[in-house]
Structure 1
Amino acid sequence: MMPEIIAHRGASYLAPENTLTAFRKAMEIGADGVEMDVQQTGDKKLVIHHDFLIDWHTDMRGQIYDMTMEELKALDFGSWKDVSYKDERIATLQEALALCREMDGTVVQLELKATIDNDPDFVPRVIEEIRAADITDRLVMISFNHDLLRQAKQLMPELKVGVLVYGAMETMALPTAMWEILGLQNSLEEDDFPQLPMFSVENVDDENCSWMLRQIGSQVSMLQVDFPNESLIEVIQHLLDQRDPVKYVQTLDFKPDWVSCEYHTAYQQPGMVQKLHDLGIKTAYWTVDEEKTVKDLWPLQPDAIVTNRPDRVREWIAELEMTE
């Protein structure tokens, strides 16, 4: 079965991620759909952006949840990628869904970024926009915060939802030595991860340290909103619970339509796709950008592959089909 090819934050390899341009380009180069992130501004509006911070996508510092829609719309969200994208504006959820509605057949994976203040009206606002866009049949709402998905299902039972699970992701979050201290097992090798020049000793200066600290702070905030009011030990336990997605989803008090996890989980649990299919649940793996990874995942037959390179993934899959 041909998996859906979902462009991660749009055609993010070619265009500024999570922008209208990135979504258009994704469909132009052969994606079946797009993945995007929605979060709430300081004045309770809904915008498309992955991180709470705007630091690395504009020439300003700030947090989405502290800024108004007017302030965000005044910023250039494109030049960081290339000068040709100068003055690309942040997209509202309404704008993004309207564009996808216009692009016939476009599938949408809409990731909810939980609010800092745990606003109970966040999900209802998103649901209202989905209804207004008349795109329910082509949309899957996904989130790491499963309480939000439960709320969405209660408000809109016909809505398809997908549980984002960390799976093998926790092994990527800390160095091997730290997991050994915690008495946990890191099953991935150092060679599995890209080497980032900014973390080399010769590149560590005040500017890079400040950037890294803000990035780490942003990631901690993401965990805090996904697991509100919980201790570090409790968060670690949640990560461990999600190492087995099949077992985990059966503990939920609602049935998801999808399970979406970091692709290394497939190597640890090659039977996961079939087991989830037996439960009537589809599977997506992210973020798959290398030919070898596509070849490794192909025999497992996931229902969707989320990638920054939808054009290349389609080419690699076509080659695999020709060899069968």
Structure 2
Amino acid sequence: MPHPDIALPRLLAHRGLSAHAPENTLAAVRAAHDAGCDWVELDVQLLGDGTPVIWHDATVLRCSDGRGRLAELDLPAARRLDVGAWFGDAFRGERIATLAEMLALIAELGMGLNLELKVNRGRSAAALVESALPKALDALPPERLIVSSFDDDALACAREIAPPSRLALGVLFEGMTRDWRARCEAVSAFGVHADWRRLSRRGAAAVKAEGYALLCYTPNDPAAFANRWGWGVDAAISDDPTCYTGHLP
């Protein structure tokens, strides 16, 4: 089945330009844009009140001045968190971004988005998809949106909402399991998103032979990653795409 005509860049900024700004924030996306990145990869999940926000962890401990689980917060409580000071004083006062705010910024900047549906333990895949996906589909054209997940239920729910011609889905893998083809076929996937350290030449060749786009996360050493381009990798999702200057094939 046809997929959106996506012109994948060689590099996507992982959680925004997360080597230089606090991850998954509006500041990180602005930094990525300023650095010349055309696409960013971001995580979305729900607060306890059902608001979709851009966040990776199940808790707020690592990337804020607070404690507790994201599922226990409503939006006013989440807004009180400083999600920038942990990274550096220049980002003090940065607030958690709602999905709506992030989509508005990405649309304004004309960027592409790989939105990862982050289904942490005990959370509902269906609730996340039903809340987040329509907003993303409304905000961005098909050629500037990829939705990915490790969670098969989330991907299945997403495919029920939008056909392959409207929505490109990426199946995330830590390692290429024996059922990788079946997982991709089940949701009419656009691409495979693989851990670059666990991807083999043989696995890459199999993915490309089936016609899937091949994206790798999260290579931050251009020299160590260099041979993967020859394996047919289409794009790298890196914390610091700027380090690849002069190192792309």
TM exceeding 0.5: yes
Deviation, 1:295, is 1.6
Distance in 1 of aligned mates of 2:215 and 2:57: 21
- Tell me which amino acid in the other structure corresponds to 1:7: A
8 Å CA contact retained: 2:214, 2:233: yes
Cα contact 1:249–1:255 (8 A) shared by 2:
no
Partner of 1:308: 239
* Helix, strand or coil at the partner of 2:188: coil
1:275 and 2:206 aligned: yes
CA distance, structure 2, for counterparts of residue 271 and residue 107 of structure 1: 30
For 2:4, the equivalent position in structure 1 comes to none
Contact 1:39–1:114 (CA<8 Å) still a contact in 2? yes
C-alpha spacing 1:136/1:98, structure 2 compared with 1 (3 Å): farther
The runs of 5 or more residues in structure 2 that have no matched partner are 1-6
Match for 2:26: what amino acid? L
Give the alignment partner of residue 174 of structure 2, picking from 158, 166, 173: 166
Q: Which has the larger radius of gyration?
A: 1
User: What's the counterpart of residue 177 of structure 2?
Assistant: 243
Distance 1:52 1:117, change over 3 A: closer
The size of the alignment, in residue pairs, is: 239
Distance 1:248 1:131 in 2: 26
For residues 208-266 of structure 1, give each alpha carbon's deviation from its aligned partner in whole angstroms, at most 9, with x where no partner exists.
Answer: xxxxxxxxxxxxxxxxxxxxxxxxxxxxxxxxxx434xx52235422210100110223
Alignment-derived partner of residue 39 in structure 2:
33
Identical-pair percentage: 30
Partners of 2:127 and 2:64 lie apart in 1 by: 28
Q: What TM-score does the superposition give when structure 2 sets the normalisation length?
A: 0.89
2:186 maps to which of 253, 261, 265: 253
- Specify whether residues 265 and 12 from structure 1 end up closer, same or farther in structure 2 by C-alpha distance, changes over 3 A only: same
Q: 1:77: which partner in 2?
A: 83
The yes-or-no answer on 1:92 pairing with 2:23 is: no
How far apart, CA to CA, are the structure 2 residues paired with 1:92 and 1:270?
39
TM-score (norm 1): 0.70
Retained in 1: the 8 A contact 2:59–2:68?
yes
What is the CA–CA distance in structure 1 between the aligned matches of 2:44 and 2:8, rounded to whole Å?
Answer: 28
Would the alpha carbon gap of residues 68 and 290 (structure 1) be closer, same or farther in structure 2, given more than 3 Å must change?
same
Alpha-carbon deviation of 1:3?
A: 5.1
Would the alpha carbon gap of residues 58 and 254 (structure 1) be closer, same or farther in structure 2, given more than 3 Å must change?
closer
Q: Which consecutive residues of structure 1, in runs of 5 or more, have no partner in the other structure?
A: 168-241
In structure 1, the residue matched to 2:135 is 129
| Residue number in structure 2 paired with 1:5 | 11
